[in-house]
Structure 1
Amino acid sequence: MAMRTPIAFAARRATPSSSAASFLVPCAPRWRRGNATVAPPATQSAAGSKGPTAIVFMNMGGPSTTDEVHSFLSNLFSDADLIPLGRFQNYIGPLLAKRRTPKIQKQYADIGGGSPIRKWSEHQAAEMCKILDKTSPETAPHKPYVAFRYANPLTEDMYKQLLADGFGQGKGGRAVAFTQYPQYSCSTTGSSLNELWKWRARFEGAKAGQSVDGDAGNIKWSVIDRWPTHAGLVEAFAQNIEKTLATYPPERRDDVILLYSAHSLPMSVVNRGDPYPAEVAATVHAVNQRLGMKHKYRLVWQSQVGPQPWLGAQTSDTVKNFMKKGNTDMILIPIAFTSDHIETLYELDKEVIGEDAEGHEGVKRVESLNGNPVFIEALADLAKSHLDSGVACSKQMTLRCPGCVSERCRAQKEFFAAQTESLAAGVQNA
Structure 2
Amino acid sequence: MALRRPFGLPRQVLRPAVRSSLGYHQEQRFSFATTVPPVTQNATGSKGPTAMVFLNMGGPSTTNEVEDFLSRLFADGDLIPLGRLQTYLGPLIAKRRTPKIIKQYSDIGGGSPIRKWSEYQCQEMCKLLDKLNPETAPHKPYVAFRYAAPLTEQMYTQLFDDGFGKGRGGRAVAFTQYPQYSCSTTGSSLNELWKWRNRLEGKRTNGTEEASGAIQWSVIDRWPTHPGLVEAFARNIEDQLKTYPEDKRSGVVLLFSAHSLPMSVVNRGDPYPAEVAATVHAVMQRLNFSNPYRLCWQSQVGPSAWLGAQTSDTVQEYVKRGQTDLVLVPIAFTSDHIETLYELDLEVMEEANSPGVKRAESLNGNPIFIEALADIAHKHLQRGEKCSLQMTLRCQGCKSDRCLESKKFFAGEETSSLVV
**Greater Cα shift, 99-108 or 211-220:** 211-220
Seen in structure 2, the aligned counterparts of structure 1 residues 108 and 414 have a Cα distance that, compared at 3 Å, is same
Alignment check: 8 A CA contact 1:221 1:416 kept: yes
1:351 and 2:323 correspond = no
**1:392 and 2:386 correspond:** yes
Instruction: Evaluate the alpha carbon distance shift between residue 416 and residue 244 of structure 1 in structure 2; reply closer, same or farther with a 3 A threshold.
Output: same
Q: Does 1:329 align with 2:325?
A: yes
| Structure 2 residues not aligned, in runs of 5+ | 1-5, 19-40
Partner of 2:302: 306
Residues 61, 110 of structure 2: 8 Å contact kept? yes
- What is residue 288 of structure 2 aligned with on the other side? 292
* Match 2:259 to one of 248, 259, 263: 263
Q: Report the counterpart of residue 427 of structure 1 in structure 2.
A: none
Report the 3-state secondary structure (helix = DSSP H, G, I; strand = E; otherwise coil) of the residue aligned with 1:284.
Answer: helix
Taking the aligned partners of 2:254 and 2:334, their CA distance within structure 1 comes to: 18
Partner of 1:217: 213
The CA distance in 2 between the partners of 1:25 and 1:363, in whole Å, is 34
- CA-CA distance at 1:102 after TM superposition: 1.0
Q: Does the CA contact (< 8 Å) of 1:205 and 1:213 recur in 2?
A: no
> Aligned partners of 2:76, 2:391: CA distance in 1, in Å?
21
Which letter does structure 2 place at the counterpart of 1:51? G
C-alpha contact 2:203 2:210 (8 A) present in aligned 1: no
CA 1:82/1:253 → structure 2, altered by over 3 Å: closer, same or farther? same
Equivalence for 2:113: 116
Say if 1:205 and 1:212, in contact at 8 Å, map to a contact too.
Answer: no
- Listed one character per residue, the Cα deviations across residues 131-176 of structure 1 (whole Å, up to 9, x for unaligned) are 1011110000000000000000000110011011110111110000
The one-letter code sitting in structure 2 at the alignment partner of 1:390 is: G
* Identity over aligned pairs, percent: 72
Does the 8 A contact of 2:208 with 2:413 survive in 1? Answer: no
Tell me which residue corresponds to 2:406: 412
After TM superposition, the structure 1 = structure 2 runs for residues 20-99 of structure 1, keeping only pairs within 5 Å, are 21=7, 25-27=15-17, 47-99=44-96
Q: Which residue pairs with 1:9 in the alignment?
A: none
1:79 shift after superposition:
0.9
1:51-84 per-residue CA deviation (whole Å, 9 max, x = no partner) reads: 0000000001000000000111111111111122
Helix, strand or coil at the partner of 2:144: strand
Judged with a 3 Å threshold, the aligned counterparts in structure 2 of structure 1 residues 59 and 211 are, in CA distance, closer, same or farther, namely closer
2:365 is the counterpart of 1:371: yes
Distance 1:252 1:22, change over 3 A: farther
* Structure 2 counterpart SS, 1:177: strand
Residue 222 of structure 1 contacts residue 420 of structure 1 at CA under 8 Å; is this kept in 2?
Answer: no
Per-residue deviation, 1:92? 2.2
- 1:401 paired with 2:391, answer no
Per the TM alignment, residue 216 of structure 1 is displaced from its structure 2 partner at its CA by 4.5
Separation in 2 of the partners of 1:301 and 1:27? 35
Comparing 182-191 with 294-303, greater Cα deviation is found at: 294-303
Distance 1:61 1:210 in 2: 35
CA shift for structure 1 position 189: 0.2
Task: Give TM-score, length-normalised by structure 2.
Answer: 0.88
Q: Deviations over 1:77-123 (max 9, x none)?
A: 11111122222322222222222111110000000000000000000
Q: Is the 8 A contact 1:170 1:216 kept in 2?
A: yes
- Alpha-carbon spacing, 1:203–1:317, altered in 2? closer, same or farther (3 Å): same
For residue 383 of structure 1, the aligned residue among 343, 367, 377 is 377
Pick the aligned partner of 1:278 from 256, 274, 297: 274
Match of 2:239 among 232, 237, 243: 243
Which blocks of at least 5 consecutive residues in structure 1 are unaligned? Answer: 1-19, 29-43, 423-430
Q: Which amino acid aligns with 2:144?
A: A
1:137-156 mapped onto 2 (5 Å cutoff): 137-156=134-153
User: In the alignment, which of 185, 193, 197 is matched to residue 196 of structure 1?
Assistant: 193
Equivalent residue for 1:128? 125
For residue 247 of structure 2, what is the amino acid of its counterpart? E
Task: Report deviation, 1:318.
Answer: 0.8
Distance 2:106 2:359 in 1: 21
Q: Using the TM superposition, give the Cα deviation of residue 413 of structure 1 relative to its aligned residue in structure 2, in angstroms.
A: 0.4
Q: Closer, same or farther in 2 for the Cα pair 1:215/1:46, shift >3 Å?
A: farther
Aligned CA distance change for structure 1 residues 283 and 323 (closer, same or farther; 3 Å): same
How many residues get paired?
385
TM-score, length basis structure 1: 0.86
Task: Kindly indicate whether the alpha-carbon contact (under 8 Å) linking 1:206 and 1:212 is maintained by their aligned counterparts in 2.
Answer: no
**Counterpart AA for 1:393:** C
Residue in structure 2 matched with residue 341 of structure 1 by the alignment: 337
Matches of 2:70 and 2:61 in 1, distance apart? 13
